[in-house]
Amino acid sequence: MDPSRDNPDLTEERRKAKFDPEKLGNFFWQGQLKRRRQICDYVQAQGTELAPAQPVPFMTRMEKLEDVARLSVGMRKHAENVIDVGSPQEQFYFNSLICGYDGSPFHLHFIMALPAMINNCDEEQAAEWLPKLFNCEIIATYVQTEMGHGTNLKALETTATYDASRQEFVFNSPTITSTKWWPGNLGKTANFAVVMAQLYTNGKCYGAHPFWVQLRDIETHKPLPGITVGDIGPKFGIGSNDNGFLRFNNYRIPRMHMLMKHAKVLPSGEYVPPMHSKVGYTSMMYVRSVMGEIRPGAGEVKVLDYQTQQYRLFPQIARVYAIAFTGIYIMDMYKSVMANINAGDASLLSDLHSLGSGLKSVTSWQTSLGIEQCRMACGGHGYSEASGLPALYTMAVGGCTYEGENMVMLLQCARSLMKLAAELRSSDRINQRDGKKCANPVTGYLYNVSPPQKCRISQESGPDAYLEAFEHVARRNVFRAYERLDQLRKRGRSAEEAWNESGVELTKASKAHTMNFLAKTFVERTKLMDDPASRAVLENFVSLFLSYELLHCAEPLLEDSFISAQQMEYVRLKMYDSMQRIRPNAVTVVDSFDFTDAELKSVLGRRDGNVYEHLLEWAQKSPINAHDVLPFHDKYLGNYMKETLCRVWHRAIHCRVQSQRARPRHFCCSAHFGSPLTQLTAHIDPFIAQKQ
């Protein structure tokens, strides 16, 4: 580090600072600034041993998995040399320096599996498994989520059926949707797992319970017979985590592998309920589980029936129409402007240029945000590249930058709006009545000499009153920006300084101008639909667009009392009403876009809706799944698990029990993941107390 070779712009910036960054930094890091630097220096001094083999973006997923296995084993040798392994902050920093932030093979082991075992093992189980877990003689994960069910514990379908004749539980995945899906490190790393499954005994179901399930052979690391396990395939990010899937086919575990701290199944098959209901795992999960239903007991409803889901998705469809219809309009306008120019009339050229800049910016950003909302509305599966949505987003969001960065585009649009505003402010009223200018479809509204001063929206009003409101927002924002510019000029700023200091207001003017045009064009184009049933559908989307978008730019309407609180309420009611009207036609509207499966390349967005079997099929094609055991497994994780030296556990227990130090050094292992040590301590303390 040689500051004299720094970029001089940065050096100048640093020189100008009016405070000491060490002091602010130390406050931010709660006094740990010095420690952070010691840790960083140590890691860097180890060179390639604790550094990525190459920049991560150049690695294939296989290479990422290998490198993080190498690093996560490597860092353990060093942890106690440099960090206080009892400090979550230090652990977290140490881990992020070496393994990055995409997870490591031990991530779920410590953050989920170990706490779940501590919480749910009875004494005998704890004595057998906790030492192995702390020692990493095995690597475990926590397996709850199924393909068809996220947070709804009651809906889990995996079954664990007690067979009294052999004192075993028989695991099955009776449907495609029961396939366990998403657990981190499940695909290739973990050889054991805490698995949530519906417990059946003596012919009765007692609900979801946790079981301790071996997945892979300790020696060979191969999946055991009856187990199908693999990687779920590439995701939007976190490529170095082998999030996995798991299916059971008459897979048997001993009775004693049901985790029996709370509920039990006796050898006879008799179910012994927990002393208190909702203890242990259930207490944490119950609340989340009840969110899965609208009417309790009626089962899971279609996600489209949730108002919050409609609110996410339907406005995006409305925007599709508004944007597509405006695109058609603009293409026609382009042709007619070109024809006019050839005939010697370039009067509409600047409007076209300005509008094009505004539309480029507003629509590319709305499109990107919309794709992300759709992706997140799919829950976890949207994050998988199987959904096609990650690639769609990264492609579309590029449009916010290339061919004119969006902020620059908005300012360019504002250029011509400000020219127009200056003209209008300086010209007399007669000129403003110029019929041709008032009729201009893009800027005509600015020439209106007597625009309405009060909003006319009522409970029954159609699009016109809404369009007036959009015009009001646009007019107001344009002239406000102009006045700010003008005032700054009068206060002595140069034209360029005034322009810069008005930047944010100028972009607001451009956005409002553009939104006004989108709204107007959507309304106009919809009138051209001659099939009444289809036009009724479009009109619902027009209503939604007008109400939804108006609520998102209501501030100027309210600020000068153009709109009343009562009218705002009408707008909201219109929005909710539009969503309800859209609901029954929603799927068919999406059908009508006629996007084929071949074009969408999405396992989720498929015509037949049979998403789960195809998701499983898709994942199985992943190159990672060409190997039951990854080629580098033995070299790093396999070898590490077999070095069974009771590495940490004994020290941990002894240290904790004997010294009663506030920060025992017994969580060296947890340095892998920056675990919430507080939580882990809360789990382990009662267990240790028992042992004393």
31 binds a second copy (CB under 8 A): no
- Annotated binding-site residue? 514: no
Residue 295: exposed, middle, or buried by beta-carbon count in 10 A (0-12, 13-18, 19+)? exposed
* Interface segment toward a second copy; rule CB under 8 A; list 426-434, 461-469, 496-504, 515-523: 496-504
Taking the least distance from each CB to a second copy, the nearer of 203 and 296 is: 296
Which residue has 């220096």 as its token pair? 41
Task: For Cα atoms 454, 459, 465, give the angle at the middle one, nearest 5 degrees.
Answer: 40
Distance CA 616, CA 147 (A): 9
- Please state, in angstroms and rounded to a whole number, the distance separating the CA atoms of residues 641 and 634: 9
d(CA 458, CA 346): 41
Question: Are 333 and 354 a contacting pair, CB within 8 Å?
Answer: no
Site string for a second copy, 43-62 (x = CB under 8 A): xx------x--xxxxx-x--
Q: Is 592 in the site for a second copy (CB under 8 A)?
A: yes
The residue type at 220: T
Question: Minimal distance in Å, beta carbon 327 to a second copy?
Answer: 11
Catalytic hit among 219, 403, 496, 555: 403
Q: Which of 200, 127, 217, 205 is nearest to 163 (CA)?
A: 200
- Angle between helix axes 307-342 and 349-377 (nearest 10 degrees) is 160
> Residue 629 corresponds to which tokens in the numbers above?
């055991």
The DSSP result for 381-437, as a single string, is: HHHBGGGSHHHHHHHHHHTTTSSS-HHHHHHHHHHHHHHHHHHHHHS-HHHHT-HHH
Q: Kindly state whether residue 492 participates in binding a second copy, applying the rule CB under 8 A.
A: no
Q: Which of residues 232-261 bind a second copy (CB under 8 A)?
A: 233-238
End-to-end CA distance of the chain: 52
Applying CB under 8 A, among 227, 438, 568, 655 the residue interacting with a second copy is 568
CB of residue 239 to a second copy, shortest distance in Å: 9
| Site for a second copy, residues 129 to 168, rule: CB under 8 A | 150-151
Among 429, 436, 491, 621, binds a second copy (CB under 8 A): 621
Q: Which is nearer to a second copy, 202 or 307 (CB)?
A: 307
Site string for a second copy, 652-691 (x = CB under 8 A): --------------------------x---x---------
Query: What's the rounded Cα separation, in Å, for the pair 350 and 347?
Result: 7
Burial classification of residue 480, based on how many CB atoms lie within 10 Å of its CB (0-12 exposed, 13-18 middle, 19 or more buried):
buried
Binding mask 295-334 for a second copy (x = CB under 8 A): xx-----x-xxxxxx-xx--------x--x---x--x--x
Choice between 269 and 380, CB closer to a second copy = 380
**Least distance to a second copy from the beta carbon of 59, Å?**
9
21 interacts with a second copy by CB under 8 A: yes
DSSP for residue 630: -
Shortest Å, Cβ 130 to a second copy: 22
Whether 145 has a binding-site annotation, put simply, is yes
Nearer to a second copy, 16 or 429 (CB): 16
Kindly state whether residue 218 participates in binding a second copy, applying the rule CB under 8 A. Answer: no
| Chain-centroid distance, C-alpha 143 | 21
Q: Is 576 in the site for a second copy (CB under 8 A)?
A: yes
Is the CB of 22 or the CB of 128 nearer to a second copy?
22
Could you say which residues in the range 324-383 bind a second copy, by CB under 8 A? 324, 328, 331, 334-335, 338, 353, 372, 376, 379-380, 382-383
Residue choice 205, 422, 449, 536 for contact with a second copy (CB under 8 A): 536
User: Cβ contacts of residue 216 below 8 Å, gap of 6+?
Assistant: 190, 191, 222, 223, 224, 227, 229
Q: Applying CB under 8 A, which part among 3-11, 126-134, 199-207, 250-258 lies near a second copy?
A: 3-11
CB of 639 to a second copy, least distance (A): 27
Beta-carbon contacts of residue 106 (< 8 Å; ≥ 6 apart): 72, 136, 139, 185, 669, 672, 673
Nearer to a second copy, 205 or 338 (CB): 338
Distance CA 501, CA 217 (A): 67
Piece in contact with a second copy (CB under 8 A), picked from 162-170, 466-474, 618-626, 655-663: 618-626
User: 681, 645, 688: which is closest to 115 by C-alpha?
Assistant: 681
Rounded Cα gap, residues 596 and 583, in angstroms: 22
Which of 398, 431, 454, 659 touches a second copy (CB under 8 A)?
A: 398
Of these, 206, 618, 632, 687, which contacts a second copy (CB under 8 A)? 618
Indicate the residue among 136 and 409 with the shorter CB distance to a second copy: 409
Q: Is 403 a catalytic site residue?
A: yes
Residue number, 127 or 349, with CB nearest to a second copy: 349
Beta bridge partners of 424: none
Residue 219 binding a second copy, by CB under 8 A: no
Q: Footprint of a second copy on residues 408-467 (CB under 8 A)?
A: 408, 411-412
**CA distances, 509 to each of 327, 366, 421, 506 (Å):** 21, 17, 11, 5
Residue list for the binding site: 145, 184
Residue list for the binding site for FAD: 145, 184
Catalytic residue list: 403
